[in-house]
């Protein structure tokens, strides 16, 4: 009897040793994950935590897909999502990762335009309380987020040293238009005075931002009072009457940042024309020509509308309005998935956008004032703009690029022009995909008929643009 028990435990130990040898730290058991997701992924996935501060009380969840082939020769891209408070898992599973959701379903499909074909992809859920990331409660700010992200990034390179010398890029969308430049600034400082002997230099080459908050007039409290670029966008797209739009144009200089009643009256008049009284009409502002999907997971609260004039109208919600989050909620709240992704008990229940952002300090200056430093350090900038996004619209993006070009006297390298994607059929011509221009240090690309999340709406086009940028080729 005793012998039998011994034998069993030896067999068990041997099995155990085999399992731990086969899987590295943080490596996901892809066989089990494929079985659960109904996928057939052939690459590796890592999922775990990165310490985001010295005492380890702040832990950021990361998901890492090494490129399928020749990972050691490909660049590394870190991708962040905005909010503030929204999870970059949205990007991993609806935009750029190897498997994405079939629209309005919980089923995965292979993404033929996955960025793992040309890069190693790292997604970090940031800052505290976003997705599976956790840490002490309390106020956060753009400054604290940048410091946490920096710490987590160093930890990533220590944990995955094979990737620390590769060309490195940081990208993101929406409010990551703040996170990406602020983290880049931290990296520039770090490279001047590296503190970790295992990471002496971060090989940062460029940044990629899609429909990103940048100018002080976008995404700040001041910017909400009279959302000049949003109003301009809706006026230019025929959502506002000619008379009201003319009033907006006439009063923008006077009304921007003003709480004066005559200015608020103009803003409310326009908002009611766009979205009905009390904004009751569900317009998908993230893509004004797309439908509004109203799936609300059980126990969740859906944001009514990001169109608002005053901060008091801000809603407490974990589901962005009109956005398809069905698959994400289904899988990432599930215990089996948490176990497979090495998620520990301290992590909150996964939601798309964290509710703990009421006391997040938004820097009223935006991130525009960091761009001179970025460009001076030869870090290349790619700005993407889905041209039917009403939240961080193309009008605001062109506004700040123009301001930056004038203030730094940046030369135009190649002026405004259309760009194309290959024809579907031999009989057709290549198709117009948007517009592009290049100035010193910065390339702007618009995506015709893409919304707030360009890589979700236009996967093939995004892949073309990203690959060209990484190869330093003009579109
Ligand atoms: C806008 O300003 C122009 C020029 O001052 C003026 O003629 C026009 O009536 C104004 N439009 C509105 C709707 O206020
Ligand atoms: C915003 O910019 C102004 C002017 O450069 C500066 O004095 C101020 O400290 C900045 N505010 C923050 C929060 O960084």
Domain boundaries, the chain: 30-217+364-470, 222-326
Ligand 2 atom having least distance to the Cα of 363: 13
Tens digit of pLDDT per residue, the chain (475 long)? 444 444 444 444 444 544 545 899 999 999 999 999 999 999 999 999 999 999 999 999 999 999 999 999 999 999 999 989 999 999 999 999 999 999 999 999 999 999 999 999 999 999 999 999 999 999 999 999 999 999 999 999 999 999 999 999 999 999 999 999 999 999 999 999 999 999 999 999 999 999 999 999 999 988 888 999 999 999 999 999 999 999 999 999 999 989 899 999 999 999 999 988 776 677 899 999 998 887 888 888 766 665 655 555 566 788 888 888 999 999 999 999 999 999 999 999 999 999 888 889 999 999 999 999 999 999 999 999 999 999 999 999 999 999 999 999 999 999 999 999 998 888 889 999 999 999 999 999 999 999 999 999 999 999 999 999 999 999 9
- pTM of the prediction? 0.93
78: DSSP letter: E
Which of 144, 217, 257, 365 is the best mutation target for the ligand 2 pocket, counting ligand atoms within 8 Å of the beta carbon and taking the most? 365
Distances (CA, A) of 131 to 86, 184, 284, 363: 7, 23, 24, 23
Task: Report the DSSP beta bridge partners of residue 80.
Answer: 172
Find the 241 Cα to ligand 1 centroid distance in Å: 14
Please state the CATH superfamily assignment of the domain spanning residues 30-217+364-470 in this structure: Alpha/Beta hydrolase fold, catalytic domain (3.40.50.1820)
Which is nearest to 190 in space by CA: 160, 153, 158? 153
* 248 alpha carbon – ligand 1 mean position (Å): 10
What 3 state SS string does 444-461 have?
EEEECCCCCCHHHHCHHH
Do residues 58 and 162 lie in contact, with contact meaning Cβ atoms separated by under 8 Å? no
How far, in Å, from the CA of 418 to the mean position of ligand 2?
Answer: 37
CA of 172 to the centre of ligand 2 (A): 24
Ligand 1 closest atom vs CA 243: 13
């Amino acid at each position: 009897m005793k012998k039998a028990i011994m034998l069993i435990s030896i067999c068990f130990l041997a099995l155990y040793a085999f399992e731990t040898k086969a899987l590295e730290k943080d490596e996901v058991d892809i066989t089990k994950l494929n079985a659960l997701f109904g996928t057939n992924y052939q690459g590796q996935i890592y999922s775990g935590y990165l310490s985001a501060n010295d005492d380890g009380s702040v832990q950021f969840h990361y998901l890492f897909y090494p490129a399928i082939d020749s990972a050691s020769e490909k660049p590394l891209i870190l991708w962040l999502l905005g909010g503030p408070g929204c999870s970059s898992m949205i990007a991993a599973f609806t935009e750029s990762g190897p498997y994405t959701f079939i629209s309005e379903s919980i089923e995965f499909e292979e993404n033929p335009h996955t960025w793992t074909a040309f890069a190693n992809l790292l997604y970090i859920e940031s800052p505290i309380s976003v997705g599976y990331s956790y840490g002490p409660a309390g106020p956060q700010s753009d400054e604290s987020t940048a410091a946490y992200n920096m710490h987590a990034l160093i930890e990533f390179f220590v944990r995955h040293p094979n990737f620390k010398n590769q060309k490195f890029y940081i990208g993101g969308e929406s409010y990551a238009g703040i996170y990406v430049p602020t983290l880049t600034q931290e990296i520039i400082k770090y490279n001047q005075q590296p503190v970790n002997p295992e990471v002496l230099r971060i090989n940062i080459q460029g940044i990629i931002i899609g429909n990103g908050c940048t100018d002080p007039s976008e995404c700040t409290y001041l910017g909400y009072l009279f959302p000049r670029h949003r109003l301009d966008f809706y006026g230019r797209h025929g959502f506002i009457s000619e008379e009201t739009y003319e009033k907006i144009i006439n009063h923008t200089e006077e009304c921007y940042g003003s709480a004066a009643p005559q200015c608020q009256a103009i803003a409310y008049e326009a908002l009611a024309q766009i979205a009905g009284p009390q904004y009751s009409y569900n317009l998908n502002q993230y893509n004004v020509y797309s439908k509004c999907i109203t799936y609300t997971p059980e126990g969740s609260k859906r944001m009514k509308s990001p169109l608002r004039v005053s901060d008091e109208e801000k809603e407490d919600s974990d589901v962005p309005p009109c956005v398809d989050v069905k698959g994400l909620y289904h899988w990432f709240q599930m215990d089996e998935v948490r176990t497979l992704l090495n998620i520990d008990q301290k992590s909150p229940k996964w939601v798309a956008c964290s509710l703990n952002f009421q006391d997040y300090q938004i820097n009223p200056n935006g991130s525009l004032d960091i761009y001179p430093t970025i460009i001076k350090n030869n870090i290349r900038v790619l700005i993407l703009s889905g041209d039917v996004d009403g939240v961080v619209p193309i009008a605001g993006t062109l506004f700040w690029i123009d301001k930056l070009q004038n203030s730094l006297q940046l030369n135009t390298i190649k002026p405004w022009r259309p760009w194309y994607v290959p024809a579907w059929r031999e009989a057709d011509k290549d198709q117009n995909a948007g517009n592009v221009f290049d100035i010193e240090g910065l390339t702007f690309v618009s995506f015709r008929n893409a919304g707030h999340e360009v890589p979700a709406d236009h996967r093939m086009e995004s892949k073309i643009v990203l690959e060209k940028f990484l190869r330093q080729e003009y579109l």
